[in-house]
Chain A
Amino acid sequence: MEAGMASTPSPESQDRIRAGALLLASGLQIAESLVPRVPLFPWLRLGLSWAVILPFLSAFGTLPAVGLFLSRNILAVAFGGQPPTTFLISSASGAAAILLLGGPIRTGLARGWIGWIGAGILQATAFNMLQLFLVTWLLVGHGGYLFQMGPILAWSIVSGAVVAWMASRWFPPEAWVKLTASCPQAAQVGIVPTAWRLEAVLWTAVCLAPAFLDGAEPVLSILGGCAVFAMVGKRFGDLELLLQAWPYFFFLAWFHLLDTPGHLMGFGGVTREGMNSFLVHAGRLGVFLLAGRNLFRILPWNSFLSKSPWARAVSIALPLLPGLFQASTAAARESWNSRRDPGSPSYPERLLSRLGEG
């Protein structure tokens, strides 16, 4: 008898545990992105967020795991600035891998036929292979690219094993019950002001417009407008939010400036296209943070999105993401200090509590 979503008591707890898992998975994904990529082998990542997704799959089932994976991708795009093709290919491969192997892995884990290591290796192999084939077929268009299959398969063993080890440490049986208590609750929304409809439309437009613009000038000018509004309205908390989210901007700089092909500008291997790409994505993130804050304040999110539990989970997790870096380093320090104390809360519990407070 597996623990399913139905066995946790209330709908609110289900939202909380989803939001918690989402925050953990997204946090690991974004943190891992801060490590620079190896040239020629950009897939050489451990995929640490699978240390959350795999246990989630085991505890709650295939479809919830797909929901977690896709929501994690959406948050990673919002804060990590991946191009749409990467997002679509990663989402399609991951969802397909979970749908294909989720059931067998879950059964195998529950009956003791395979352990976390076997599950981790299988999932990593399926995901990486599907991505490689999709990229070769859609983007590259010639089969020579598949020469990377050998190294990728070998690496899947390593990454799958590492993820499995983390999963076994952080998610012993019944860990989800304890985690639910630490997960952040849905933010209490205050009285919605009467003129909210017009303001909401305005802020939605400001939030979404940069997503459709590719040039640095229009995106940066929208960002400039939001910053001026924040300063004029004396909403210094909004500007502090930008500073708090500096790791994301650092990651965007690293991701775009050094790795984008094009015409070199003459210093440090930075291309014109890379500089443009960085400014566009940094601008989009800045607008999203500043304008999103206003949007979150005035819209009753949970009533809008009540039909979709993952949409609700995203709405809980989104405003907490800017503070992720600070919360995770504090939680890591606490975990390290109390590592010899067997009964102390695990790193995921600490991280989620800290996020919930902030």
Chain B
Amino acid sequence: MRPAFRLALLALPLFLTSCNSKPVTRYWTAMDCNFDATVHGPGEGVSAAKALDLEVAESHRLDHLFTDYDASSPLSILRGRKGDTVVVGPEIALVLRKVLVSMRISHNAFDPGMHDLKQLWGVGTEKGHVPPQDSIDLFLKRRFGFLPKPDDTLPVPFRVLPDDRVLLLTDSLPIDLGGIAKGYSVDRLSRVLDSAGWPRHLIQGGGEIIAAGRKRSGPWHIGIKNPRRNDTIVGIIRCDSTCAVSTSGDYERYFIQDGIRYHHIFDPPTGHPALGGTISVTVLCPTSLDCDAFTKPLFVMGPARSRHLADSLGLQAYWIRETPDGMCSRQSLGWGDRLQASLPTCPVDW
């Protein structure tokens, strides 16, 4: 009895250290980017591991869905003939409707037909270079039918009809959803965790974050990356309950030629990367799909053109600009005390 008792006493610390209620995180790759999901307890349904398995499975389904239509490659089913009507299913129809809203509201600051242009510039690959203006003009003429001026209304490439059908309005256009598919996916993943009984969770993927529920230890804190020193942050967003945050910056994919940084966020009418001064924008929205639909347009438009737009859409945006003296920022009006940022405010004319 005595030796067994001693052994049991020694073994006790083993059990004490194994009960933990720490959050559980899973990392995986899907849709050509890294995802991670963290669930905070207590969960009310299946186990954390099982819930995260469902997450990974759902992300692979969505990967398959958006790849079946191959939305970012020249083999897209939407790349049909002008006048064709294509049945796309409810999820893709939802995403395409959002694309159209984004295009209209942002006055051409976003266009889903930039795929070939991005290939031309090669941003983010080793072949990044400024293409000759003739090639850019050629692309613009093929895409829009004419060489646009900045204030022209650009034609939409498709129309979404009832019953989840799409009417193509251009020939052979490879659709680049600009990451809106990722926003939709992150929203879906969040709903999967909700129905698996884990309403308190944080999902990150492709630059989108959704923080859902309210964790026991307090509100969520989302950092705003310093665009020039990616290992530090310049601000913290506090979320008291569910929120989605998305950041776009010129540091994600870029090349530098002759001292100018060319990044991957294009200004459609010009065919060039948007060089209006913004180097990063962080957007706070109710859903990830909204964030994705508007982050790049808000980047392209810059705060002067889009601050009131953000307010009217119920989004909050934080723009960062680089100046010779360092960095400065502007923000939309509705942040309240949810944003703590350390950069000075930019001069009024930006």
1/0 per residue, CB under 8 A from B, across A317-358: the answer is 000000000000100000000000000000000000000000
B13-A36 in contact (CB<8A): yes
The count of residues in chain A whose C-beta lies closer than 8 Å to any C-beta of chain B is 6
B-side contacts of A250, CB under 8 Å: 10
A-side contacts of B13, CB under 8 Å: 35-36
B-side contacts of A34, CB under 8 Å: 10
Residue of B with least CB distance to A39 = B17
1/0 per residue, CB under 8 A from B, across A197-233: the answer is 0000000000000000000000000000000000000
A250 to B17 CA separation, bound complex (whole angstroms)? 16
Residue of A with least CB distance to B11 = A250
CB distance from A188 to the nearest CB of B (A): 31
A-side contacts of B149, CB under 8 Å: none
A-side contacts of B14, CB under 8 Å: 36
A311 to B308 CA separation, bound complex (whole angstroms)? 81
B6-A36 in contact (CB<8A): no
Interface size bucket, B side? Answer: under 10
A34 to B14 CA separation, bound complex (whole angstroms)? 11
B-side contacts of A35, CB under 8 Å: 13
A329-B10 in contact (CB<8A): no
1/0 per residue, CB under 8 A from A, across B1-30: the answer is 000001000100110010000000000000
CB distance from A141 to the nearest CB of B (A): 17
CB distance from B15 to the nearest CB of A (A): 11
CB distance from B58 to the nearest CB of A (A): 26
Residue of A with least CB distance to B13 = A36
CB distance from A32 to the nearest CB of B (A): 12
A247 to B13 CA separation, bound complex (whole angstroms)? 14
B17-A329 in contact (CB<8A): no
B-side contacts of A247, CB under 8 Å: 10
The 8 A-B residue pairs with the shortest CB-CB distance in the complex, in nearest-first order: A36-B13, A36-B17, A35-B13, A329-B6, A250-B10, A34-B10, A36-B14, A247-B10
Chain B residues proximal to chain A, CB less than 8 Å: 6, 10, 13-14, 17
**In the complex, given contacts A36-B14, A247-B10, A329-B6, what are 5 additional A-B residue pairs having Cβ atoms less than 8 angstroms apart?**
A34-B10, A35-B13, A36-B13, A36-B17, A250-B10
Could you list some 8 contacts between A and B, CB below 8 A?
Answer: A34-B10, A35-B13, A36-B13, A36-B14, A36-B17, A247-B10, A250-B10, A329-B6
